[in-house]
A and B are shown apart, each in its own frame.
Chain A
């Protein structure tokens, strides 16, 4: 073998070695580009067009956005989504923590049964949940009105056909469905708090309430932050609960932003308009997510 051939082989091997790392990390970038960058880019482009699915999209600039911000339905959906999100953070989160605290109590009997019961709504099909809630909250023949009638003598509340009550039933469904799920996270967090901390606080004379605020809550900080951010982002995209229970009604009083997008895209075939609403929702959720991550200090080293 001549010296020239040996040099060429070495160069070839060196070239392969230089490319090898990129080849091995390329699957992530290829998949990220195909399934994230391209769809997001296509969505943004689509939001600048008018398109019903067939033919070529007509470029219309920012007309969809202008129309969106003048559309009272979109305003209603934003307000409803804000209502659901605030409720989830202000009621569902604390309720989960309190239930987890109760389930973590020493000497609690039937602990596993309680855990199972609280977790059950998460694994039940949303269709079944909607059917059951429909039966419970029906205005004429609902169980809840019957109970109210039997106990208090009044029961004619139009739970699902009055705008205010319909919103409340949706958040009750959110509460019922997600509290148990979040409880499991809090429970895991509670079980990781060293018992010595509680014992030390007890020796120092702290009562149960003081121990809760001075030991439990600070120790649960990272868990609470994670749950709060997850809940915020998920509830901002709420779809199933209002869609299955009220179809966004009565009128549009329970419609959420995700439902608005679904309606525009799949029911009305206004794909450009739906994409514009999707872009706006993405920006809002992204901003809220970043703000809450920053506020709660998620991922920050202590």
Chain B
């Protein structure tokens, strides 16, 4: 074939047009809603645990048996912030969106403003409403009274402690209040240099998360149900003062990252002998960093604050939302309901990745009560988680939470170091927040 310059240019032009044409035609998510049949769902998540669970659940007859759809799940992994960023960018570019999206709790506030959640996600309130208060942790994913994602893991906070070292040091395992425990912790720190807790002095997110966990336990919160800022409160001041006192006396160890190398060193070296963290920390923090300490750790409920509050708190979590107005939206809703709102689904989730049930009634059932944990010395762990779930504080988020974290992080850190007072730290942080989020 004689290919001269003109023919070559024509050929290239035709190839370009053809490629553009094909790209324009490919849009597998468009079309009328599928009412039954094969549903090839797509899912975006950051956690390989969810990827495994959903992939296996799609072919588990105990979960999806009797459904009008035959499911399969294709997972795309990406970092938690990228899930939302890509949802928005794909929607703007009118490119294919996933059927289900895993939304990390700290990232969800980015969807709460500018009507992003209502525009992108299906309203799940019809699914959650029948359960009432017995379905836990719907509040953080609620916008204008509508629930847009279902929590995967209750993330209840408990106190993990080294039973062997507590016994050796003479620390009672049933100390009632934080104030008592802090006093004991100060003595232990002075005698042995060991700490009975940790606070984060790393990035703003870690600092504010640690503070929020204690604040929720004390009965306070960052926002109320209407999204109004409530962080400047007596509870907040009390919590920061307690944390600062713990750091000052050495009862609390300052660590940059609760999951990082310094914390691993503190756990391995036995200088951190207790910590208040959510249930998933046992897997990702303790078992991952100190597998050799299996059997030495125990869990108990958190000591109360003398001033009030509960023995429970929460930190972290990931909820799944269904992207609306797609061909597989109904199928994805059915699949999510079967996996997340049935006792079988909740039990399967626990065995898949130790995700705690979000249906409160399940904590008392034998299926969960009889579970023992070898890492925690075969402790009947749901006796602890059950109490914590029962007293779980409600946690509201606001659209400005991302700004609030950046505004509060620095001042709280200075307060923990004793450079400024608790009230001053809060005032400074809120002032910075209000300059950036004037409408709040």
Contact = CB atoms under 8 A, between A and B. Distances in A.
Please determine whether chains A and B interact with each other in the same assembly: yes
Contact of B114 (A252, A263, A269): A269
A142 B414 CA distance: 21
Contact of A160 (B119, B256, B409, B410): B256
B10 interface: no
A299 B435 CA distance: 45
Contacts of B253: 140
Q: Interface extent on A, as a size class?
A: 20 to 34
B296 interface: no
Contact of A267 (B110, B203, B414, B417): B110
Q: Interface extent on B, as a size class?
A: 35 or more
B414 to A, nearest CB: 8
Contacts of B204: 247-251
B91 A54 contact: yes
A70 B434 CA distance: 13
Which of B91, B203, B266 has its CB near the most chain A CB atoms (within 10 A)?
B203
Given A54-B116, A134-B261, A140-B253, 20 more contacts: A52-B114, A52-B116, A53-B88, A53-B89, A54-B91, A54-B120, A71-B435, A135-B261, A138-B261, A138-B262, A139-B201, A140-B254, A247-B203, A247-B204, A248-B204, A249-B409, A249-B413, A251-B410, A267-B81, A269-B116
A141 B260 CA distance: 11
A161 interface: yes
A146 to B, nearest CB: 11
A248 B411 CA distance: 14
B402 A267 contact: yes
A122 B278 CA distance: 39
A151 to B, nearest CB: 21
Nearest to B431: A72
B86 to A, nearest CB: 10
B202 interface: yes
Interface in B79-94: 81, 84-85, 88-89, 91-92
A72 B432 contact: yes
Interface of A: 52-55, 70-73, 131, 134-135, 138-142, 158, 160-161, 163, 246-253, 263, 266-269
Interface of B: 81, 84-85, 88-89, 91-92, 110, 113-116, 119-120, 201-205, 253-256, 260-262, 265-266, 402-403, 406, 409-411, 413-414, 417, 432, 435-436
A82 B261 CA distance: 32
Given A141-B262, A252-B410, A72 B435 contact: yes
A52 B116 CA distance: 8
A269 B436 contact: no
A107 B128 CA distance: 78
B177 to A, nearest CB: 27
B84 to A, nearest CB: 8
**Would you call the interface of chain A mostly helix, strand, loop, or mixed?**
loop
A268 B403 contact: yes
Nearest to A271: B88
Nearest to B84: A269
Given A139-B201, A246-B203, A263-B406, A134 B413 contact: no
B201 A161 contact: yes
Nearest to A265: B85
11 contacts: A53-B114, A54-B115, A55-B119, A138-B261, A139-B201, A158-B417, A248-B203, A249-B409, A263-B406, A266-B81, A269-B110
Contacts of A134: 256, 260-261
B256 A269 contact: no
A135 B113 CA distance: 38
Contacts of B255: 140
Contact of A268 (B92, B110, B202, B414): B110
A139 B254 contact: yes
A159 to B, nearest CB: 10
Contacts of A247: 202-205
Nearest to A247: B203
B116 A250 contact: no
Contacts of A163: 410
A141 B267 CA distance: 12
Nearest to A137: B256
The 6 closest A-B pairs by CB, nearest first: A251-B410, A52-B114, A53-B88, A247-B203, A161-B201, A141-B262
A131 B436 CA distance: 32
B256 A138 contact: yes
B7 to A, nearest CB: 15
A140 B258 CA distance: 13
Contacts of B406: 73, 248, 251-252, 263
Contacts of A140: 253-255, 262, 266
A63 B16 CA distance: 42
Nearest to A70: B435
B411 A251 contact: yes
A139 B255 CA distance: 8
Contacts of A71: 435-436
Contacts of A268: 110, 402-403
A163 B409 CA distance: 12
B409 A250 contact: yes
Contacts of B266: 140-141
A55 B115 contact: yes
B88 A269 contact: yes
A267 B406 CA distance: 11
A135 B257 CA distance: 11
